[in-house]
Amino acid sequence: MRKILDLISEEMKNAFAAAGYDGELGRVTLSNRPDLCEYQCNGAMAGAKKYHKAPLAIAEEVAAQLKESSVFAEASVAPPGFLNLKVKASFVRDYLRQMRTADKFGLEAPERVKKIIVDYGGANVAKPLHVGHLRPAIIGESVKRICSYAGHDVIGDIHMGDWGLQMGLVITELKKRQPELVYFDENYTGEYPAEAPFTIAELEEIYPTASAKSKDDADYKAEAMEATHRLQNGDRGFRALWNHIMRVSVEDLKKNYDSLDVHFELWKGESDVQDLIPGMVEQLKKGGYAYESDGALVVDVKEETDTKEVPPCMILKSDGASLYNTTDLATIMDRMEKYHPDKMIYVTDKRQDLYFEQIFRCARKTGLVGEETELLHIGNGTMNDKDRGKPFKTREGGVMRLEHLIGEINEEMLRKIRENAAEKGYEIDAGEAAATAKIVGLAAVKYGDLSNQAAKDYVFDIDRFTSFEGDTGPYILYTIVRIKSILHKYAEQGGSPADAVIQNAGDDSEKSLMLELSRFNAVMEAAYEEAAPHRICAFIYDIANAFNHFYHETKILTEEDRERQAGWIALLKLTVDVLETCIDLLGFSAPERM
Ligand code: ARG
């Protein structure tokens, strides 16, 4: 379906042309003065110079062309030459009727389906998930769903950190604790046990212990580095141990991401491309891109137009070891070969902005990625503590584990849900309350995050995020639940929401809701083009406000005019369908009641 603003603009362009002016002047936008009109056109002012004529006169001539318009109910002229517009109720009604029957509410399929890889999550194996991993997971999941809804072929890859020093640290600590394990016996040639010599709980304790020790003890650190080196060079016992760490850790990560409703198509990691590195390095050297500098192998990536210094991209350290960079470049090479993506989107903390600039430049310059493939980094800001305004920490100042943060939110949500039930005077059993708290808690966290532009820092405010009022996830869910309850009651009275037909708006509150809904396809397009979930948040907040306003003005279930009532029900059905589609794109869902 065409966007409603395009249809409206087209009508206006025809009017400009019919009055003898350049049709392009007829571009219509949403009104800056919703108290006066719904849409506006400033074309008469733009045309004044070109036609040496007073803008007011031009506007009046154009308005005269619109007397019989099937789109505009009102086109009034205001000094110095604004065209203030209101559309006909029948025009919006017809648009919404079409939306209801169209696939995806009229969002058009793309001209060409793109292959898109979204690299997000970025969890590190053997380390517990902490709050720093929350934003990339939430934003990435939403961006992925938006791309897919836009009609593209999308793959999400977690790109785990599974090959670094943390592995050597865990191995070293295990060796201290259980030196008798066969993995440490260099003469052992038999099969290694199938069972891991640790549980996830132990693993979670081992890494922080080892990491703390390595900071105070240089020998310990050296040992961990040596262990990392041996692992990376194929030591059999270490490799077997690494497999155990991977299995135990990934199982736990899956559980954690599942509870966030975050799902990856690919569970690849840094380790998966290690075999590709020697070939890639050879290629970079042969192409004359990589050269030695202080013993290390680097590729220059600075450009003349740079205003800040962009250091060379390091490919190999002086001891020949590969780095985070090397793995990312090899992963790009691998993805190009396997998937030929049209686009790769990375979601990480914005402190990696410069890093990705280097990687992207290096990948392009060396031909790993051709011009036809787009590379995009979405650098997210930090989630800050309410009291200190600094990145989130535990009360003791440590890294906040994700599970604990989610636990805190759910607890607060449960309290509010109980409170609300008591206020409304209905019974809610403990099981239902807890399940609902989980669903609403996730919405609180995700909406609180996604309603900000990704690059901005924001304050994590449990109280505000979990509130049932204001620009929050629970407010959106509350609206959905309210609409569902009306539709449910209507059905109980024998009506059928699916068969109800949208009618002309009877008052301004109804029309406002209809106009908000009509923006759906435009909003989705923008959200996709800009990879910007916050666009969807702003849209559903507007819809929720418009709906609640309408709801307060209208006695729906007691209306005696059955056709009018059915018209409202049809509008409610469209509203709830649009809202539920949108929250799904944001990565959360609504409970049956709350
Ligand atoms: N593991 C990294 C971290 O914790 C994030 C990985 C992001 N993705 C990537 N392709 N580099 O910071």
Residue 266, pLDDT > 80, answer: yes
Q: Which of 265-279, 378-392, 418-432 has the lowest mean pLDDT?
A: 378-392
Could you tell me the distance, in angstroms and rounded to a whole number, from the CA of residue 90 to the centre of ligand 1?
A: 52
Question: Does residue 348 line the site of ligand 1, with CB under 6 A?
Answer: yes
Are the CB atoms for 428 and 422 separated by under 8 Å? no
Are the CB atoms for 174 and 197 separated by under 8 Å? yes
Q: What share of the chain is helix, strand, coil (3-state, %, to 5)?
A: 55, 10, 30
Sequence-distant (6+) residues with CB within 8 A of 537 are: 447, 450, 451, 471, 586
Give the chain's mean pLDDT. Answer: 95
Question: Does residue 328 line the site of ligand 1, with CB under 6 A?
Answer: yes
Q: What is the pLDDT of residues 114-129, one digit of tens each?
A: 999 999 999 999 887 8
Q: What does residue 40 show for φ and ψ, rounded to 5 degrees?
A: -145, 160
Structural domain of 50: 4-87
Ramachandran category for residue 559: left, alpha or beta (phi over 0 → left; psi -120 to 50 → alpha) = beta
Q: Which helix (H) or strand (E) holds 385?
A: strand 383-385
Residue at 448 is within a domain:
yes
Residue 397, pLDDT > 70, answer: no
Q: Is 346 helix (H, G, I), strand (E, B) or coil?
A: strand
Residue 395, pLDDT > 70, answer: no
Residue at 109 is within a domain:
no
Question: Does residue 591 line the site of ligand 1, with CB under 6 A?
Answer: no
**Burial grade of 578 (CB within 10 A; 0-12, 13-18, 19 or more):** buried
Last residue of a domain, one of 63, 87, 111: 87
The structure tokens 């970025």 sit at 122
Residue 424, pLDDT > 90, answer: no
Mean pLDDT over 236-253 rounds to 96
Q: Which domain CATH number covers 35?
A: 3.30.1360.70
Q: Which domain CATH number covers 510?
A: 1.10.730.10
Are the CB atoms for 550 and 574 separated by under 8 Å? no
Number of domains comprising the chain: 2
Residue of the CA atom closest to atom 8 of ligand 1: 122
Sequence-distant (6+) residues with CB within 8 A of 306 are: none
Ramachandran category for residue 419: left, alpha or beta (phi over 0 → left; psi -120 to 50 → alpha) = alpha
Could you tell me the distance, in angstroms and rounded to a whole number, from the CA of residue 324 to the centre of ligand 1?
A: 8
Question: Does residue 446 line the site of ligand 1, with CB under 6 A?
Answer: no
Distance CA(81)–CA(11), nearest Å, equals 18
In this predicted structure, what is the pLDDT of residue 396? 67
Could you tell me the distance, in angstroms and rounded to a whole number, from the CA of residue 270 to the centre of ligand 1?
A: 9
Could you tell me the distance, in angstroms and rounded to a whole number, from the CA of residue 156 to the centre of ligand 1?
A: 14
Last residue of a domain, one of 42, 64, 87: 87
Last residue of a domain, one of 37, 54, 87: 87
Q: What is the pLDDT of residues 473-507, one digit of tens each?
A: 999 999 999 999 999 999 999 999 999 999 999 99
Residue at 442 is within a domain:
yes
Residue 209, pLDDT > 90, answer: yes
Question: Does residue 122 line the site of ligand 1, with CB under 6 A?
Answer: yes
Measured from the Cα of 352, ligand 1's closest atom is: 12
Q: What is the pLDDT of residues 533-587, one digit of tens each?
A: 999 999 999 999 999 999 999 999 999 999 999 999 999 999 999 999 999 999 9
Residue at 123 is within a domain:
no
> Which tokens hold the place of 415?
């309290």
Residue at 344 is within a domain:
no
Among candidate residues 380, 370, 435, 538, the one with its CA nearest the CA of residue 30 = 538
Residue at 234 is within a domain:
no
Q: What is the pLDDT of residues 339-356, one digit of tens each?
A: 999 999 999 999 999 999
In this predicted structure, what is the pLDDT of residue 50? 93
Mean pLDDT over 309-331 rounds to 94
Residue at 114 is within a domain:
no
Are the CB atoms for 366 and 298 separated by under 8 Å? no
Residue at 565 is within a domain:
yes
In this predicted structure, what is the pLDDT of residue 393? 72
Give, in order, the Cα–Cα distances in Å from 296 to each of 211, 317, 321, 354, 576.
27, 5, 9, 20, 58
Give Cα 556 distance to the centre of its chain. 35
pTM, full prediction: 0.95
Could you tell me the distance, in angstroms and rounded to a whole number, from the CA of residue 378 to the centre of ligand 1?
A: 12
